[in-house]
């Protein structure tokens, strides 16, 4: 077959526009590669044509070869350009999707704060946690037996009257639950379920039917309980003196133990800290006055026996602190009722920054 230069050139032009069309239509990198293989691959169309050059006579071969090189270069370049486009269109899409408008105003600062009650509980936990106590909890609605009887306050005991108990409506069998009047029932629950040695503190809500400037029907306590074979009154004193000094941040705070009575401890002691009212305001520390802040005592052997613990082998001590009271003293909060009013101005003033987490480690590092 004779070589007709003009026809060959026309065919090449057609082929070129076909191939460039395919390159332009390739929707992704895989499709583009198919086009490349079909044109320039080992068995591709252009490669095939190149091979056919060998059969031409030298003059024709020169002209046809030059034209085919132009075609080959044009297709290869188109493929490269398209490849670049396809690769970058992914990036453009991602850039559009992940765009951040740095001119937008930042999110407003969180405006909440930690309530002084929560903060105070966390502080108490940090101090006793350092001494090896763990946190235990119990229900707010409690069986009479746990709140009173097991704590050596039987039904006719006069101490029941001091507790101003809220009773819950009677159940079918006539027995009535109570809103716990103190956190001490958790002592009982813990002694029933855990074996000594026991070393717990129990923060929580407590309830008494009493409401005036210094009493709220709901308030908070932290209970403490230690039961083992060796702990004695000396340990009770050391532990509570250490707590008072750490909590109020006064290293030489005077702490006094005053004989008292609780049915569930024997002997019992109330704990006072030194203060002064000189110059009108109240200041914690050395002075001529005392403030009562804690109830405490050696666990009454009867209470241990009520929980199935051998009182000839085990002994220990317990204490209870009113959270509101120590929070008011430490932070100069004058009125108990304000704790529960949810007044945002009060909360902004007396609240704590969320990251202001109490820790004995931080205290030690600050040397306070
Ligand atoms: N439960 C007592 C109260 O609420 C406090 C207390 C606890 C006293 C433990 C002694 C031991 O008043």
Q: Do residues 200 and 251 share a domain?
A: yes
| pLDDT above 70 (res 91) | yes
Is the whole-model pTM more than 0.85? Answer: no
Out of 262, 264, 265, give the residue to mutate to test ligand 1, the one with the largest number of ligand atoms within 8 Å of its CB. 262
Dihedral, CA of residue 354, residue 358, residue 362 and residue 367, to nearest 10: 120
Ligand 1 centroid from CA 319, angstroms: 6
Residue 103 lies in a domain: no
| pLDDT above 70 (res 361) | no
| pLDDT above 50 (res 58) | yes
Ligand 1 centroid from CA 318, angstroms: 8
* Number of the ligand 1 atom closest to the C-alpha atom of 221: 4
Q: Do residues 65 and 34 share a domain?
A: yes
Residue 111 lies in a domain: no
Residue 321 lies in a domain: yes
CATH number for 263: 3.30.930.10
H or E element at residue 330: helix 323-331
Residue 104 lies in a domain: no
Contact between residue 103 and residue 51 where contact means Cβ atoms under 8 Å apart: no
Q: Do residues 84 and 139 share a domain?
A: no
Residue 276 lies in a domain: yes
Residue 65 lies in a domain: yes
Out of 31, 62, 97, pick the residue that ends a domain: 97
**Length of the chain as a residue count:** 368
Q: What percent of the chain has pLDDT over 70?
A: 96
The pLDDT value recorded for residue 165 is: 92
Ligand 1 centroid from CA 247, angstroms: 19
Domain hosting residue 272, numbered range: 116-367
Q: Do residues 87 and 182 share a domain?
A: no
Using CA atoms, how far apart are residues 233 and 362, in angstroms rounded to an integer? 30
pLDDT in tens, 140-169: 999 999 999 999 998 888 778 777 899 999
Q: Do residues 220 and 342 share a domain?
A: yes
Closest by Cα among 146, 231, 149, 157 to 180: 146
Residue 106 lies in a domain: no
pLDDT in tens, 42-51: 888 888 888 8
Q: Do residues 122 and 92 share a domain?
A: no
Using CA atoms, how far apart are residues 272 and 275, in angstroms rounded to an integer? 9
Q: Do residues 224 and 338 share a domain?
A: yes
Ligand 1 centroid from CA 368, angstroms: 30
Task: At 293, list the tokens.
Answer: 């802040």
- Is 184's C-beta closer than 6 angstroms to any atom of ligand 1? yes
Quick one: CA dihedral 78, 84, 90, 95, positive or negative?
Answer: negative
The pLDDT value recorded for residue 282 is: 85
Count of the separate structural domains present in the chain: 2
Residue nearest to atom 5 of ligand 1 (CA): 320
Using CA atoms, how far apart are residues 263 and 159, in angstroms rounded to an integer? 8
Q: Are strands 178-179 and 198-207 parallel, antiparallel or unpaired?
A: unpaired
* Number of the ligand 1 atom closest to the C-alpha atom of 295: 8
- Phi and psi based region of residue 315 (left: phi greater than 0; alpha: psi -120 to 50; beta: remaining): beta
Q: Do residues 42 and 125 share a domain?
A: no
Q: Do residues 275 and 162 share a domain?
A: yes
Give DSSP secondary structure letters for 183-250: STHHHHHHHHHSPSSEEEEEEEEEE-S--BTTB-SEEEEEEEEEEESS--HHHHHHHHHHHHHHHHT-
The pLDDT value recorded for residue 142 is: 97
Q: Do residues 77 and 226 share a domain?
A: no
Task: At 77, list the tokens.
Answer: 């370049």
Q: Do residues 28 and 133 share a domain?
A: no
* From 93-107, 126-140, 241-255, the region with the lowest mean pLDDT: 93-107
Residue nearest to atom 2 of ligand 1 (CA): 320
Out of 65, 97, 129, pick the residue that ends a domain: 97
Count of CA atoms in the C-beta half-sphere (13 A) of 198:
28
Does residue 309 sit in helix, strand or coil?
coil
Closest by Cα among 236, 267, 271, 246 to 257: 271
Q: Do residues 148 and 215 share a domain?
A: yes
- Is 295's C-beta closer than 6 angstroms to any atom of ligand 1? yes
Out of 320, 321, 322, 323, give the residue to mutate to test ligand 1, the one with the largest number of ligand atoms within 8 Å of its CB. 320
Residue 122 lies in a domain: yes
Out of 97, 124, 156, pick the residue that ends a domain: 97
pLDDT in tens, 305-360: 999 999 999 999 999 999 999 999 999 998 999 999 999 999 999 999 887 788 87
């Amino acid at each position: 077959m004779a070589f007709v230069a003009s026809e060959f050139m026309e065919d090449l032009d057609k082929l070129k526009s076909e191939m460039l069309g395919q390159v332009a239509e390739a929707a992704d990198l895989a499709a583009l590669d198919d086009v490349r293989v079909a044109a320039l691959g080992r068995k591709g169309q252009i490669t095939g044509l190149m091979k056919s050059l060998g059969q031409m006579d030298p003059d024709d071969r020169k002209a046809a070869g030059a034209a085919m090189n132009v075609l080959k270069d044009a297709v290869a370049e188109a493929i490269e350009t398209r490849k670049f486009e396809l690769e970058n269109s992914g990036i453009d899409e991602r850039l559009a999707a992940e765009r951040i408008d740095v001119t937008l105003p930042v999110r407003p600062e969180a405006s909440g704060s930690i309530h002084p009650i929560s903060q105070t509980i966390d502080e108490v936990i940090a101090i006793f946690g350092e001494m090896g106590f763990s946190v235990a909890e119990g229900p707010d609605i409690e069986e009479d037996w746990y709140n009173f009887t097991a704590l050596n306050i039987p039904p006719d005991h006069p101490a029941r009257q001091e507790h101003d108990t809220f009773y819950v409506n009677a159940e079918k069998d006539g027995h009535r639950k109570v809103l716990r009047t103190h956190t001490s029932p958790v002592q009982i629950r813990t002694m029933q379920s855990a074996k000594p040695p026991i070393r717990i503190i129990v923060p929580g809500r407590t309830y008494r039917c009493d409401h005036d400037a210094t009493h709220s029907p709901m308030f908070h306590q932290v209970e403490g309980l230690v039961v083992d074979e060796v702990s004695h009154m000396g340990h009770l004193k050391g532990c509570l003196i250490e707590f008072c000094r750490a909590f109020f941040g006064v290293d030489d705070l005077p702490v006094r133990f005053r004989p008292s009575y609780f049915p569930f401890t024997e002997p019992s002691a109330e704990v006072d800290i030194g203060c002064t009212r000189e110059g009108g305001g109240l200041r914690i520390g050395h002075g001529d006055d005392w403030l009562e802040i804690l109830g405490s005592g050696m666990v009454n052997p009867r209470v241990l026996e009520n929980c199935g613990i051998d009182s000839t082998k085990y002994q220990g001590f317990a204490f209870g602190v009113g959270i509101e009271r120590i929070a008011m003293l430490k932070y100069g909060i004058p009125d108990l009722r304000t704790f529960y009013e949810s007044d945002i101005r009060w909360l902004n003033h007396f609240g704590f920054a969320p990251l202001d987490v109490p820790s004995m480690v931080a205290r030690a590092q600050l040397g306070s």
